[in-house]
Amino acid sequence: MNERPVITLSQISKVYANGTVALQDVNIAIPDAQFVCLVGPSGCGKSTVLQLIAGLGRVSSGSIDWGFPPPARKLAFVFQDAALMPWATVRENVRLPLKLAKVSQKDANSLVQQTLALVGLEKFEQSYPRELSGGMKMRVSIARALVTQPNILLMDEPFGALR
Ligand SMILES: Nc1ncnc2c1ncn2[C@@H]1O[C@H](COP(=O)(O)OP(=O)(O)O)[C@@H](O)[C@H]1O
Ligand SMILES: [Mg+2]
């Protein structure tokens, strides 16, 4: 195990454009090979922390430091809403990140198949999101993150819809 934290948040603050102070002086060190859960009441800033780590927003002050350089970072994000493409099948939804990364059709097919089996949706690869339950949609969303074989997986309340 790497002794150096993979992600270090130092004195992070986030003030949104409307003046809302979402985070103030937050310090978190995330070690290698660990599950870390942020627990707190609604509105305390959990999603904001995840978005900042993912680079989906900028810190207002403080810094985020990484234990390894960008090429070694394979980051995936599972949003609180499944955020699937409604016009595309389960298989096409899960394949999207591989398509964007220009993974070959053959490799992509096998990765998509394996990942759908992992989340128990192999029989639904031809289904459309509207044909799935809320929990199944979330599993598609989780599969879309796992299919990229990330080494950092950020998940925003991903299991709320799962039973
Ligand atoms: N884009 C935004 N613009 C303004 N305020 C925001 C925005 N996103 C979140 N907030 C505010 O920041 C605070 C933290 O929100 P959030 O990180 O979503 O909390 P949590 O995920 O813990 O419920 C809340 O007060 C929320 O209203
Ligand atoms: Mg949230």
Structural domains in the chain, CATH included, are: 7-72 (3.40.50.300), 75-155 (3.40.50.300)
Distance (angstroms) between ligand 2 centre and the Cα of 57 equals: 14
The tens place of each residue's pLDDT in the chain, 163 residues long, gives: 557 899 999 999 999 999 999 999 999 999 999 999 999 999 999 999 999 999 999 999 999 999 888 888 899 999 999 999 999 999 999 999 999 999 999 999 999 999 999 999 999 999 999 999 999 999 999 999 999 999 999 999 988 777 6
The answer to whether the CB of 51 is under 6 A from ligand 1 is no
Q: What is the CA radius of gyration of the chain?
A: 17
The answer to whether the CB of 45 is under 6 A from ligand 1 is yes
Distance (angstroms) between ligand 1 centre and the Cα of 79 equals: 14
Distance (angstroms) between ligand 1 centre and the Cα of 24 equals: 13
CA distance readout (Å), 10 to 3, 49, 107:
18, 12, 39
Residue 81 half-sphere exposure toward CB, CA atoms < 13 A: 5
> Tokens 């950092």 sit at which residue?
152
